[in-house]
Structure 1
Amino acid sequence: MQEILIISNYYPPEKGAAANRIEQLALKLNQNNYKVSVICPLGNYPKGKLFPEYKGKFSVTENRDNITVKRLWIYPSVSKNIFIRIVSVLSFSLSLFFYLLFKKTPQKVVVQSPPLLLSFISIFVLSLKNKKIILNVSDLWPLAAIELNALKKDSFSHKFSLFMERFVYKKATLILGQSKEIINHIKSLFPDKKCYLYRNFPDHKVENLDLITEENVPIKIFYAGLLGIAQGVLELCQKIDFRSLQDDKIELHIFGDGAEKTQIEALISSQKNKKIFFYGMMERNALHEKLKSFDIAIVPLKVRIYGSVPSKIFEYGSLGFPLLYFGGGEGEEIVKENKLGWVAKVEDYNDLNEKVHLISKLSKSELDLIKKAVFDQSQKVFNLDNQMNELIEKEVF
């Protein structure tokens, strides 16, 4: 049995797309007869506080579904103070540096990026040890940071990030990109680098459409995920227009946690005509059960981010939810190409509200037909097993 190590900044019981993505990769490799281990920080995300079971511990080794998970010390934080955030990233990076330097590790290693500093330190040590390095790139940093105004162009931090980005691409044996745009960007820097598309497909094991139709109730649009800067859910709540709709035809339901949570809760509590509802973070299986009686998943991005394809497209399309996509880029192309729902122009709230108005005119029977078509198409094109088998046949892992 071949051994393979995965290095990631997130892993369950932490919540969110990043943790789910890495767990799915680990489980699929295990199902294909790899002995898989994972190195990650002590569980703390998204609240930025250590989970109770990890408090007071420097490191923890666990077995989760036949995956050996080694959790290393971190100073957790989700502070908006950039200095504190850097200290947090550095704390785990240093723990990881010494672990990789002095501990025996498998010959094959998957490194998740971003965070860029984490992948830089990992690849620096692993390249010294002549490991096979499989770099899994889910977003393009520092490009995404510039587009989100989280980093100033041509600043020292930007230039150093560019250095780290080029270093990890150069030193990686091969690269998995979550989007075609990511692969095109890497190829523009290193034309001869071996790159493979690896979409963040889910593995729900749902063979039949399992959604519940509720007649004589409003159409329920939902957002489920991180409430961070990139998603712009607070602005969505402020600018989505339900006032022009009569007879309470449509509602917005929000599930998640993150930096904007408090402001979203305050906004909703101040509403006079409540058509926006907030539930907080839920465990994934419980969330999916709760959503069965809902109708449409909204997938927003605050700005169009080159290289980014939100995993919610695959996550909720595969459960049979039509999508209201509001993020531009490659994700928009996927939704249109596969007829998964409605697309509003990114940052254009007039266009978004026009789409909401169109949706409000649908009957539940019309929605049922749309759900069935989305489910069938997603089952056909978003197949994680087929994707993994193709990569194994190409000897990626």
Structure 2
Amino acid sequence: MEEILIISNYYPPEKGAAANRIEQLALKLYQNNYKVSVVCPLGNYPKGELFPEYKGKFSVTENRDNITIKRLWIYPSVSKNLVVRIISVLSFSLSLFFYLLFKKTPKKVIVQSPPLLLSFISVFVLSLKNKKIILNISDLWPLAAIELKALKEGSFSHKFSLFLERYIYKKATLIIGQSNEIITHVKSLFPEKNCYLYRNFPDHKIENFDLTFEENQPIKIFYAGLLGIAQGVLELCEKINLDGLNIELHIFGDGAEKNQIEVLLSSEKDKKIFFHGMMERNELHEKLKSFDIAIVPLKVRIYGSVPSKIFEYGALGFPILYFGGGEGESIVEENKMGWVASVEDYTELNNKIQLISKTSKLELFGMKERIFRESQINFNLDLQMKSLINEDVF
């Protein structure tokens, strides 16, 4: 059985798309006869606090669904204080540096990027040890940071990030990217680099359509995921207009905007927006069976980003109301998955919601059945994995 290591900043029991995506990759490699191990920080995300089972520990080795997981020390934080955040990033970076330098690692290693500093350290040490480095790019940094105004263009931090970005692209043996835009960007810098598309398809293990039909209920739109700056869910709650419509918005998740969202909704109880907090994935999917439409927002159009929620909820059978621009728009439109509103255009978004309000529950149910069937073919993780293995990517 061939060995492969995955280096990631997130892994379950942490919540969110990043942790789910890496776990899915690990499990699929195991199912294809790889012996898989993962190196990641002690569990702390999204609250920036060590989970109770990891407190007081420097490192932990555990087995989760036949995947060996090595969790290394981190000083966790989601503080807005830049110095504290830097200390947090450096803490795991140092743990990872010494682990990779002195521990025996498999010949093949998948490195998740971003975060850039962690991927830089991984690629730097692994290149010295002559490993096959498979760089898995889920977002383009620092480009995304500039678009989100988290970095100032031309600043020292921006220039340093550009150096890290170019280094990891150059030193990686090959690159897998979640979008065609990511691959185009890498090729613009290193035209000869071998790059492969790797979509964040889910594996729900659901063979039969099982969403339910409730005729005499409001149309239930839901957002489920990270409540961070990039998603702009707080602004969505402020600007969405459900007045006079038989529509509700339900929000599930946790993150930086959680408290502000709760304050807003407690002060404006007539908005028909309901906050449910964070739920376990299986519990969430069970809760959503009677819901109707998944909304996928981004605060700004982020080049290279394709929200995995498109595939996550499309594969369950939910129509998508997409509000993020970029390649995600094309995926929703080409697969006839629902509705698209131009990113940041709340007038257009509210017009789409008006249009949705005129759709009957029966029509929505028909859409769900079709989207579920087509997603089994179009968003098939097993077929994607086998194709990449046949091309000797892993």
TM-score (norm 2): 0.99
Q: Secondary structure in 1 aligned to 2:371?
A: helix
**Could you list the per-position Cα deviations for residues 27-73 of structure 1 after superposition, in whole angstroms to 9, with x for gaps in the alignment?**
00000110000000000000100000000000000000000000000
Work out which of the residue numbers 317, 321, 326 in structure 1 matches 2:318: 321
CA contact (8 A) 2:29 2:36 kept: yes
Q: Percent identity?
A: 81
- 1:200: Cα distance to partner? 0.2
More divergent stretch after superposition (358-367 vs 51-60): 358-367
In structure 1, the partner of 2:223 is: 223
In structure 2, the partner of 1:206 is: 206
In structure 1, the partner of 2:340 is: 343
Distance 1:120 1:72 in 2: 17
Written as runs of structure 1 = structure 2, the 5 A alignment for 1:259-338 is 259-338=256-335
Distance 2:226 2:269 in 1: 26
CA contact (8 A) 2:242 2:271 kept: no
In structure 1, the partner of 2:101 is: 101
Q: Secondary structure in 1 aligned to 2:249?
A: strand
Distance 2:222 2:78 in 1: 25
Q: Secondary structure in 2 aligned to 1:289?
A: helix
Distance 1:383 1:229 in 2: 30
- Opposite residue 323 of structure 1, the aligned amino acid is I
More divergent stretch after superposition (75-84 vs 291-300): 75-84
What is the RMSD computed on CA atoms of the aligned residues?
Answer: 0.6
Distance 1:76 1:331 in 2: 32
- Opposite residue 223 of structure 1, the aligned amino acid is Y
- Opposite residue 255 of structure 2, the aligned amino acid is G
**Could you list the per-position Cα deviations for residues 173-219 of structure 1 after superposition, in whole angstroms to 9, with x for gaps in the alignment?**
00000000000000000000000000000000111211011121110
Written as runs of structure 1 = structure 2, the 5 A alignment for 1:229-240 is 229-240=229-240
Distance 1:25 1:341 in 2: 27
Q: Secondary structure in 2 aligned to 1:25?
A: helix
- Structure 2: any 5+ residue segments left out of the alignment? none
- Opposite residue 266 of structure 2, the aligned amino acid is S
Greater than 3 Å deviation, 4+ residue runs: none
**Could you list the per-position Cα deviations for residues 220-262 of structure 1 after superposition, in whole angstroms to 9, with x for gaps in the alignment?**
000000000000000000000012x24xx00000000000000
- Opposite residue 203 of structure 1, the aligned amino acid is D
More divergent stretch after superposition (315-324 vs 208-217): 208-217
In structure 2, the partner of 1:39 is: 39
Distance 1:194 1:336 in 2: 29
**Could you list the per-position Cα deviations for residues 45-103 of structure 1 after superposition, in whole angstroms to 9, with x for gaps in the alignment?**
00100000000000000000000000000000111112211111111010000000011
- Opposite residue 283 of structure 2, the aligned amino acid is A
In structure 2, the partner of 1:160 is: 160
TM-score (norm 1): 0.99
CA contact (8 A) 2:223 2:295 kept: yes
Distance 2:376 2:34 in 1: 26
Aligned pair count reads 394
- Opposite residue 21 of structure 1, the aligned amino acid is R
- 1:274: Cα distance to partner? 4.2
- 1:372: Cα distance to partner? 1.2
Q: Secondary structure in 2 aligned to 1:160?
A: helix
- Opposite residue 129 of structure 2, the aligned amino acid is K
- Opposite residue 101 of structure 1, the aligned amino acid is L
Written as runs of structure 1 = structure 2, the 5 A alignment for 1:119-130 is 119-130=119-130
Q: Secondary structure in 2 aligned to 1:111?
A: strand
In structure 2, the partner of 1:393 is: 390
- Opposite residue 294 of structure 1, the aligned amino acid is F
- 1:272: Cα distance to partner? 3.7
More divergent stretch after superposition (84-93 vs 132-141): 84-93
